[in-house]
Amino acid sequence: MKFSERIRKNADPIWQASHNHPFVQGIGHGTLELEAFQYYMCQDYKYLIEYARVIALGTVLAPDLETMSGFAKALDETLNSEMDLHRAYAKRLGITQEQLEQTVPGPVTLAYSSAMMAEAQKGSLAELIAAILPCAWSYYEIGTALAKIPGATEHEAYGEWVKMYSSPEFGAIADWLIAKLDELAAEKSEAELDRIETIFMNTSRYEYMFWDMAYKQENWPIG
């Protein structure tokens, strides 16, 4: 079994909880409250800025040009395609660029992005990839699952979101990260693999928590 298959299997209960979360199902069935989606878009914009910084660190840790180039593509996809989606949505939803940029990261946004950055700064490239992989992989998995719901890709509010995350371009980044992690895992001891798996499990949990935070439009308890 490939290392990626092992960690995906072990994370399955968490991933299934994300698939079944009312926020995710609400996007697929077009029933999600627009206000929760607006909140999500602003928080996600801030999250993606930090995610992009972690990807950029991947180019620093990359051992060769092919790997550097893969991270450069992931960075471009995030900053210029994925965040364009957020900017376009913001416009449609009446959120200004200033509002997007001035969003205060909520507790889960801050905890998740800080955890990714901490793993990237103290670990090896495999640990960095484990920290960001649930982000790329679970969204592609969720996007492709939601795209199968009749009408989901055509929905007036959420169709563009479903199209983005089920797109082959987005999937190619997830596939590249999976293959890179498997390649690096082949050289690791069992103790190191356990540590890498723990990171993957934790950021998988944060993915679930992000959906939940958005659904509840959670904020800091004290201003």
- Give DSSP secondary structure letters for 146-159: HHTSTTGGG-TTTH
Out of 131, 135, 146, 162, point to the residue binding ligand NSP (CB under 6 A). 135
Query: Which amino acid does the sequence have at 201?
Result: M
Catalytic residue check, 218 = no
Cβ of residue 144: shortest distance to ligand NSP, in angstroms? 13
Residues 25 to 44: which contact ligand NSP by CB under 6 A? 44
Q: What angle do CA 33, 139, 203 make, to 5 degrees?
A: 100
Q: Which stretch binds ligand NSP (CB under 6 A): 55-63, 131-139, 175-183, 189-197?
A: 131-139
77 binds ligand NSP (CB under 6 A): no
144 or 193, CB closer to ligand NSP? 144
- Give DSSP secondary structure letters for 166-198: TSHHHHHHHHHHHHHHHHHHTT--HHHHHHHHH
Q: What's the burial of 19, exposed, middle or buried (CB within 10 Å: 0-12/13-18/19+)?
A: middle
135 or 196, CB closer to ligand NSP? 135
Out of 3, 47, 71, 215, point to the residue binding ligand NSP (CB under 6 A). 47
158 binds ligand NSP (CB under 6 A): no
Dihedrals phi, psi of 167, to nearest 5 degrees:
-75, 150
Out of 14, 48, 62, 74, point to the residue binding ligand NSP (CB under 6 A). 48
Q: Which residues contact 166 (CB under 8 A, 6 or more apart)?
A: 140, 143, 144, 146, 147, 153
Block residue for tokens 């649930």: 134
141 binds ligand NSP (CB under 6 A): no
Give the Cα separation of 172 and 74 in Å (integer).
9
207 binds ligand NSP (CB under 6 A): yes
Out of 161, 176, 210, 215, point to the residue binding ligand NSP (CB under 6 A). 210
Give the Cα separation of 62 and 205 in Å (integer).
26
47 or 215, CB closer to ligand NSP? 47
Rg of the Cα trace of the chain?
Answer: 17
Out of 23, 37, 71, 139, point to the residue binding ligand NSP (CB under 6 A). 139
Active site residues: 207
| Residues binding ligand NSP (CB under 6 A) | 44, 47-48, 82, 135-136, 139, 207, 210
